[in-house]
Structures are given as structure tokens and as C-alpha cells.
Amino acid sequence: MRRGGEREEEEAGGGPARAAQLEELDGRELALVPSAVEDFLKDYSRGKYREAVRRMAAERGRSVEVSVEDMVLYDRRLVDALVANPRAFLEVMEGAVRALLRVEDPEYAQRARRVHVRLASLPELFKVSLRGLRAEHVGRLVAVEGIVTRMTPVRHVLTTAVYACASCGEELRVDGGAPPGLKCPKCRGRLVLVKERCEFIDVQKLVLQERPEELPPGQLPRSIEVVVTDDLVDRARPGDRVTVVGFLEVAEDRRITRDGPPTFAAYIDANNIIVSSRDVEAVEITPEDERRILELSRREDLEELIVSSIAPSIYGYREVKLAVALLLFGGVPKVYPDGVRVRGDIHVLLIGDPGTAKSQLLRYACSVAPRGLYTTGKGSTAAGLTAAVVKDASGEFVLEAGALVLADGGVACIDEFDKMEARDRTAIHEAMEQQTVSIAKAGITATLNARASILAAANPAFGRYLPNRNIAENIDLPVTILSRFDLIFILRDVPSEREDAALADHVLGFHAEELPPGELLPPELLRKYIAYARAHSRPRLSPEARQKIKEYYVKMRARGEDAPIAITPRQLEALIRLSEARARMHLRNVVTAEDAEVAIQLMEHFLRSVGVDTATKLVDIDTVMTGQPKSQREKIILLLDIIKELVRSNDGNPVKVEDVMKEAQARGLDEAFVRKVLEKLYESGEIMMPRQGYIITTV
Ligand SMILES: [Zn+2]
């Protein structure tokens, strides 16, 4: 590339310019620029920009995007001139585009009121980090990367006003509105604005913030206002990762000091907004990294290595760590022929007694996620977890992105998930399943992307997890939210001598700066590995994996009218995602039977941990998850009620099983079901059998 650039520079009759010469560029040299700019647009790369101008005309657009890298290759001095006086240079270039447009499409050239040159592919010398913006950059052209967090509605700013005199009808055109007290120049009569003949330009303000994964630890994100006009309006939405090309400007800011010397707030007057595609890798991977990643992927003990590397300071919790690992790799999103989109992102909830290291797991996951965002249920801003329309400091309504929108394309680690605001409790359903956030308030209507995995932690409602109550009772969250998690783990702090001793050794070992036994992946390498896997592996189910999952699902599902349903289609989708994630972990494009087996084992662990009886299916997922007993549960309750009634009418004495059976059948319960449930109730201690053939309730 460089060689080509030099050759073209020689052809253009110039040598490589030096940075030191830039400031010496005087008016005479700048005057040379217009013809050079025109030549560049006409000649570069077999008419690339002539074609761009033609396309703009055909689409009735108003902008042509010009690559600054192209200018570097064509004639470095063009870039020098751009650096020296960017606004003047852009005017020259827009003039040249108009000249080209007159040749390519004279009719449109006449009609087009505005033509913009939007700069793209800026070389390093223009790039400034948001944190690095300083007074020295004011007035300069900069390229700043970040994430859009806020957006105002579109306003229409008057650029040319047309007035008519109320007395004599005289018309008057004034650029940029009119000074107060303007009178008719002919008769001094009152002037009335003729709105339909005025010219307006669309204006919108955005707030650009540092990307969450780039934030130095413990620092609050920096942000800057960006003003976009005309066809740049609505190009980016909150949650989009963008490069803003524009001029750093300052405006008097009376919000801080009403009296005293004025302070100035910086903003960017945008020339271009380039929205990054979602697939752009958040992590840079060198060829050397790739070699290490591929080597790792071939190791026999890969899964163990990754699982034991997840939050190594936390002892145990193998299944939880495996689930977190699979969440980080993620499944594959699918769009069915009817347009229904099924997420590939895996959601995991950890419900835990205090002191069970939930937060530590979340923080670790966040640090190795290629795009990780850590927040709490309340969120870090007024927008909370989803999005909100809020008033900014100047009293204007703005749409602000919440955590899940900012985590789009990554992983949101949400601590104290149960503390989320009422507004989020409603909006999060859509965010978790459709992975969008829709909002319509104060004239702002938008649908934002929230394609993120959620790793959430919550505290039990009673301080500790009560094993004899279902999840819905144990946690202060609606069951409809709970059912959207692929896996839920209950981390209980149950004392056990053997476990406690092992845990103590583990923790004390860490404090003695001993490494835990075995090899660990450094977090930075794991992060790169995950990023690489997400970018390069798109696994599909093999026939064997499909068969395994199907068998399990069918086994857990109903057979016949009265058989309980242990799991629902939600768990089927979760199994597919988990299997895909495990294939990704191995950098495979095929989901094997073994992947499916691992996913099934995790699902079994989850179901058992929340109290689903996968062997008898007597307690189903709906009962423990939704807390709304399905017909099965209702029948069990009915049977218990029958026994209680009979016991009561027998003065509190044990009743005959035979009588219970008769009454139950009379009320529509079948014999086999009643026998099975009675056995269960006996086992769980809810009924007693003081003598053969007689039962009594204990509660
Ligand atoms: Zn008049």
C-alpha cells in the first residue's frame, strides 16, 4: 500500500510531506488545492468517486463518503491541507463534488440544495480517545470512537426564513432567521413567517460515551455531546458503537455558572457517523494469539482447563462455572422462515445466600467477556437496565440507553438483579426474549437492540434460600422473568465439614500466594479465546446431537393426558443453545452427541437444584418456576383437601385409604394417579399412615 502511495505521489509531482510542514501551509498552497481535489475525485481508482456521485444522484441522496486513506494514497498533500484547515478543505471538496454532479446528473445538481462530503477511514493521526480530548483539539478534525448512550428527538432548525409583510405583501428572505424587531423594508409593516416556504435543516444531539470494555477499572465513563445534522440524523441509535468524525467545538455553558465568567462545554460538530458492524471484534487477535488459540482448542482437557480458570479464587461450583463458560461462548441466533428470531444468547441466574461469591463470579465473567458490562439491578443511570426517556440538564427530553442496550453484542453481568425498577420489570421481558427494547414517550419512539447474554445474581427474598419453598416464593421477581433464564442455580451456604475444610484450604492457599492446583488460563488469553470462538465458530446440530436432545425432551414431556410435563419448549431451546456453546468452546462447527450430553447434564443439575423431580416428573417445571400450579399440582392439592375434609369429618382421626380413593374418584381423579401421589405425600411426610390402610394429614 505504501509503495503504491509513493508512486502516486511521484506521479502527482510531490514527495512525502512531513508533519512539521503542515503548519507552514499558507494561503498560496491552499489555493493549489481545488484542482488537486477535483483531480482526486475524478481520477482516483478508476472513477470510484465519480461512481459514488452517480449513486448519490440516483438515490436522491445528499452525501458522498470519501476515504481519507484514499487521499493519503493519491497525494499526501491533500491530507496535509485537510489537517491544516479542515473546514475550508471540506468546502473545497464539496464544491468539487457539486462540479462532478453537474456533469453526472445536471438535473439533480440543480435541485439538490445541499451536498455533503462525509469523511471516512481516517488515519491514526486524526484518532483521539474520548478521554484524550483536550483544549488543543478545539477546531480540529477528530475521529472519536465510542458508544451512543443518548439521543434527542429530531429538531428542525430554520436555515432560511421567508417573511411576508402583513400590510403590503412584500416578501423577504433572511438566512438563519431574522433579528428581533425586523420590519417590512417598504412600509415598516409587521412581518409574518411563511413556514411552508422556509428552509429547515434536521438537527439531533447524541451523547457519545466511552465503550464499557475500554473503561479503566473503577472509573466513571466520560462522554461528549455530538451534534448531527441533515442526513446524519437518526443514523445511529443509543447502544450503537460508532466512530464520530467531526470538529471539536466549544459552546458557552451557562448551566454551570449563571454568574461570573462563562464556562465552555466541548461538543463535536459531526461530519460523519460510522456505525460499527456488530461483528467487529472487540478484541485484537494477533497471528501469534491465533496459533495459541488453535493449539489450546486441540487439548484433551480444554473444558476442564476453561472451567477451572473461571474465577479460580472461588472454590467448587463446577456446574455454575461450566454454565458461565457456556454463556460466554454463546449459542447461535436463528431466524425461522416465518421471521421469528430465536436468540442464541444464554441467560443464567444465580440465586445465592449472602457470602456465596456471586458478585465475584459476575466480575470475573465480565472481565473475560469480549464485551462485558457490569451493573446492578438498579442500573448505573436513570435508564436502568433497559432504556428511558429522561430530561437532560438543559431540560430537553432524551432517549437514554440502559445497561442491556449498552451491552448489545456482549454480556451483561447484573448483580442484585432482584432490585430492578418497576419500569424495567416490564421492559425486560422483551429485552430477554426478542432482545430489543421498545420505547414510546415524550414524542420519542424507538426500538433499540439488546442482543446480550444476561448473567444475573439475586438474593433470596427471606435472606436465605428456603428449600421447602419454590423459586418464585424465594425470590422477589415475577415468574415470567424467571422463566426466561436458560439455567438457574441456587448457591446455598450449607455447612458441611468436608466441604468447609476443602474451601478453607483453597482460600488459605490463595492468601499464602500458592497457586491452586493445576494449570490456569490467564484471563487475557481466555478473553481472546472466547472472542475468537464467537467470531469463527457457527455450530450446527449433528443428527446424533439432535437425536440425544429429542430423546431427553420427549422423556421429560407428557405421554398421555394425565402424565406430568417436566419441562417446556423453553428448556428445549436452552438445550440447543447450551450444546452449540459447548461446540463453540471446542471451536467446532458441528454440535456432537457429547456436546448435547453435557448440555443435558447441566439442565438436569438445574432442574434438580430448583426442585423438579426429573425421575418421577411429579413436580414439574411449571410448578417450581411459575409458582402457578398446573392441573397436576391442582389435583395434588385437591387430593390433600379431600383427605383433610375426611379427617375433619372423622373428628381428626385417621381415615380409610379406601374412602379417600372413593371420594377422589367421585371428584374425577383416577386411581393410579391417587396411589402415586399418596406414596409421594407419604414420602415427603405430608401424610402419615398410623396403621395399615389408614392415613392422616400432618399439616
Ligand atoms: Zn410592507
Q: What is the mean pLDDT of residues 29-33?
A: 59
Spacing, Cα 11 to ligand 1 middle (Å): 61
Three-class HEC string of 307-333: HHHCCCCCCCCHHHHHHHHHHHHCCCC
Ligand 1 center to residue 193 CA distance, Å? 13
Q: What average pLDDT does this structure show over 412-429?
A: 90
Q: Quick one: fold of 287-609?
A: Rossmann fold (3.40.50)
- Ligand 1 centroid to Cα of residue 183, in Å, is 8
What topology does CATH give the domain 130-275? OB fold (Dihydrolipoamide Acetyltransferase, E2P) (2.40.50)
What CATH number should be reported for the domain whose range is 4-124? Answer: 3.30.1640.10
Residues 12 and 72: their CA atoms lie apart, in Å, by 12
Determine the average pLDDT of the residues in 255-264.
Answer: 64
- Interacting residues of 487 by C-beta distance below 8 A, sequence separation 6+: 323, 346, 347, 348, 349, 574, 578, 602, 603, 606
Model confidence pLDDT, tens digit, residues 499-510? 566 666 666 655
| Contacts (Cβ under 8 Å, ≥6 apart) of 482 | 349, 471, 472, 475, 488, 625, 626
What residues contact residue 632 under an 8 Å CB cut-off, 6+ apart?
562, 564, 618, 620, 623
pLDDT digits (tens, 9 = 90+) for 340-380: 889 999 999 999 877 668 888 999 999 999 889 999 998 87
**Which CA distances in Å does 119 have to 70, 77, 203, 462, 640?**
11, 16, 19, 58, 75
Candidates 190, 211, 353; CA nearest to 283 is 211
Q: Round to whole Å and give the CA distance between 374 and 412.
A: 6
How far apart CA 54 and CA 101 sit, in angstroms, is 7
The answer, yes or no, to whether residue 517 has pLDDT greater than 60, is: no
Percent of residues, the chain, with pLDDT higher than 70: 84
**32 has pLDDT over 60:** no
- How confident is residue 30, by pLDDT bands cut at 50, 70 and 90? low
* Residues 120-166 pLDDT 10s: 999 999 999 999 998 899 999 999 999 999 999 898 888 888 999 98
Please state the domain extents for the chain: 4-124, 130-275, 287-609, 630-697
* Contact (Cβ atoms closer than 8 angstroms) between residue 297 and residue 586: yes
159 alpha carbon – ligand 1 mean position (Å): 23
Cα distance between the two ends of the chain:
83
Q: How many CB atoms lie within 10 A of CB 391?
A: 11
Nearest of 613, 602, 606, 676 to residue 639 by alpha carbon: 676
Contacts of 56 (CB under 8 A, 6+ apart): 62, 63, 64, 101, 115
Task: Describe the chain by its helix, strand, coil percentages, rounded to 5.
Answer: 45, 20, 35
Mean pLDDT throughout 560-571? 64
Average pLDDT on 524-553 reads 94
Query: From ligand 1's centre to the CA of 339, what distance in Å?
Result: 61
Cα atoms in the Cβ-side hemisphere of radius 13 Å centred on 231:
17
Whose CA is closest to 277, among 119, 409, 128? 409
- At 630 the pLDDT is 53
Alpha carbon distance 375, 381 (integer Å): 10
CA of 199 to the centre of ligand 1 (A): 22
**C-alpha of residue 647 to centroid of ligand 1, in Å:** 100
Residue 7 has pLDDT above 50, yes or no: no
**What distance in angstroms lies between residue 191's CA and the mean position of ligand 1's atoms?**
8
For residues 171 and 541, what is the distance between their CA atoms, to the nearest angstrom?
A: 72
Would you identify the CATH topology of the domain 630-697? Arc Repressor Mutant, subunit A (1.10.10)
Residue 315 CB neighbours (<10 A): 18
Q: What was the pLDDT predicted at 232?
A: 96
Distance 188 CA to ligand 1 centre (A): 6
Q: Is 0.85 topped by the overall pTM?
A: no
User: Is the model more confident about 608 or about 210?
Assistant: 210
Contacts 24+ apart (CB under 8 A), 391-398: 392/150, 392/152, 393/255, 394/255, 396/152, 396/205, 397/152, 397/153, 397/441, 397/442, 397/443, 397/444, 398/150, 398/151, 398/152, 398/205, 398/207, 398/444
Cell of 630: 398446573
- How far is residue 158's CA from residue 200's CA, in Å, rounded to a whole number? 4
Mean pLDDT in residue range 251-273? 78
Residue 449, pLDDT score = 92
CB 356 within 8 A of CB 449: no
Q: What's the 157 CA to ligand 1 centre distance in angstroms? A: 26
Spacing, Cα 156 to ligand 1 middle (Å): 28
User: Cα of 174 to ligand 1 centre, how many Å?
Assistant: 15
- How would you label 214-241 residue by residue, b for 16+ Cβ within 10 Å and e otherwise? ebeeeeebebbbbbbbeebbebbbbbbb
Residue 560 has a pLDDT of 46
Q: What is the CA radius of gyration of the chain?
A: 33
Q: Alpha-carbon distance 699 to 676, whole Å? A: 19
From the CA of 168, how far away is ligand 1's center (Å)? 4
For ligand 1, the distance from its centroid to the CA atom of residue 172, given in whole angstroms, is 10
pLDDT at 193 over 60: yes
- pLDDT tens per residue, range 45-61: 899 999 999 999 999 99
The vertex-449 CA angle with 447 and 455, nearest 5°, equals 130
pLDDT of residue 13: 36
Q: Give the model confidence (pLDDT) of 641-676 as tens digits.
A: 899 889 988 888 899 999 999 998 888 888 888 888
Query: Which residues make beta-bridge pairs with 146?
Result: 242
pLDDT number for residue 315: 80
CA of 187 to the centre of ligand 1 (A): 4
Q: How far is the CA of 192 from the centre of ligand 1 (A)?
A: 10
Which of the two residues, 352 and 615, has the higher pLDDT score? Answer: 352
Task: Give the mean pLDDT of 463-490.
Answer: 83
User: pLDDT at position 10, please?
Assistant: 36
Neighbouring residues of 499: CB distance < 8 A, sequence distance ≥ 6: 316
pLDDT band at 15; cut points 50, 70, 90: very low
| Residue 363 Cα to ligand 1 middle (Å) | 71
Query: Greatest CA span in the chain, whole angstroms?
Result: 114
Pairwise CA distance, residues 177 & 632, whole Å: 73
182 CA → ligand 1 middle, Å: 11
From the list 383, 391, 482, 459, the residue with the least C-alpha distance to 423 is: 383
* Centroid of ligand 1 to alpha carbon of 190 (angstroms): 7
pLDDT tens-place string over residues 308-348: 999 988 888 899 999 999 999 999 999 888 888 899 999 99
- Whole-number Å distance, alpha carbon 189 to ligand 1 midpoint, is 5
Contact criterion met (CB below 8 Å) for 373 and 361: no
CA quadruple 462, 468, 473, 477: dihedral sign:
positive
